[in-house]
């Protein structure tokens, strides 16, 4: 009887203790890590002038859900240390509390890319859109693009509205731009990669999925959101176009990440 009780205690400890240990690790350790992922994005020969262009992709801050100003400051410094040309902020700055926008953008104002910092709206930003986002982003030196494109000498950068609560229109956004220039675009939801066939678009940058936020060994993401189920994380290619989906750097609903550390993506265009 004593042996049986001891065995039951061991089994219960394993059954209940393992999830608690994983949650503790995800909350106390992995949630506070910053994983820098580097990826080369291939270019068609005719767009070779962009060889070496370096872009930092940040997304899914959800700063009102367990946000940490010091963590954002550390992420910003990490990006600055990479000496990138562009920064793309791919949306979901908050989950629902607009008060968290100000401390977040007070940290993002310290980004120092060579060309500029650009941003698009996530679905949560769309659901809780407020004039303060426009004012704070502008004051921080962040160019918010909602179905808008900015044209440079040898490329175009565009930002498309969230497809979950917004009114995205890629065709109208790019119509006034030069027909032969390559386009780099930010679009919060990655599954929109299947909705267009424009050979000028060399790279779409997205977030939204959190990479699953909590992943199971050998299985991957346990739960993925609508518009983020086909392309959950990483670099995908269709023809000459690329999509990169970042895991993002924040957490939502539960204050933990497991086998899915916060990420800063550093993307380099390669001829």
200 vs 14, higher pLDDT: 200
pLDDT at 189: 98
pTM greater than 0.85: yes
pLDDT value of position 29: 87
Query: What CATH fold (topology level) applies to the domain 34-270?
Result: Purple Acid Phosphatase; chain A, domain 2 (3.60.21)
Q: pLDDT tens across 250-269, in order? A: 999 999 999 999 999 999 99
Start-to-end C-alpha separation, the chain: 71
pLDDT tens digits for 14-60?
444 445 455 566 566 899 999 999 999 999 999 999 999 999 999 99
Residue whose tokens read 């044209």: 151
The H or E element spanning position 120 is none
128-162 tens-digit pLDDT: 999 999 999 999 999 999 999 999 999 999 999 99
Q: CA of 96: how far to CAs of 129, 136, 245, 250, 253, in Å? A: 9, 16, 23, 14, 11
Residue 81, SS3? helix
Going from the C-alpha of 128 to that of each of 27, 30, 66, 193, 208, the distances in angstroms are: 27, 29, 18, 25, 16
Are the C-beta atoms of residues 211 and 147 closer than 8 Å to each other? no
Find the helix or strand (DSSP H, E) in which 69 lies: helix 69-81
């Amino acid at each position: 009887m004593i042996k049986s009780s001891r065995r039951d205690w061991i089994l219960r400890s394993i059954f209940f203790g393992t999830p608690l240990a994983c949650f503790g690790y995800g909350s106390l350790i992995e949630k506070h890590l910053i994983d820098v992922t580097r990826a080369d994005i291939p270019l068609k020969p005719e767009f070779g002038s962009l060889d070496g262009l370096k872009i930092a992709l940040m997304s899914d801050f959800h700063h009102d859900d367990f946000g940490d100003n010091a963590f954002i400051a550390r992420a910003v410094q990490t990006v600055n240390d990479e000496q990138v040309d562009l920064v793309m902020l791919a949306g979901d700055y908050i989950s629902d509390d607009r008060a968290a926008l100000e401390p977040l953008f007070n940290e993002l104002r310290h980004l120092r890319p060579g060309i500029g910092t650009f941003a698009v709206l996530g679905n949560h930003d769309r659901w809780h859109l407020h004039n303060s986002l426009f004012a704070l982003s502008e004051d921080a030196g962040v160019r918010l693009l909602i179905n808008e494109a900015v044209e440079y000498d040898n490329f175009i950068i565009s930002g498309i509205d969230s497809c979950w609560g917004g009114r995205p229109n890629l065709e109208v956004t790019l119509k006034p731009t030069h027909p032969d220039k390559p386009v780099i675009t930010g679009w919060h939801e990655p599954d929109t990669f299947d909705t267009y066939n424009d050979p000028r678009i060399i790279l779409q940058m997205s977030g939204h999925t959190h990479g699953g936020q909590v992943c199971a060994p050998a299985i991957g993401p346990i739960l993925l959101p609508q518009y983020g189920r086909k392309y959950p994380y990483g670099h995908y290619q269709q023809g000459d176009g690329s999509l990169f989906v970042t895991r993002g750097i924040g957490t939502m609903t539960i204050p933990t990440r497991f086998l899915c550390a916060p990420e800063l993506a550093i993307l380099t265009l390669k001829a």
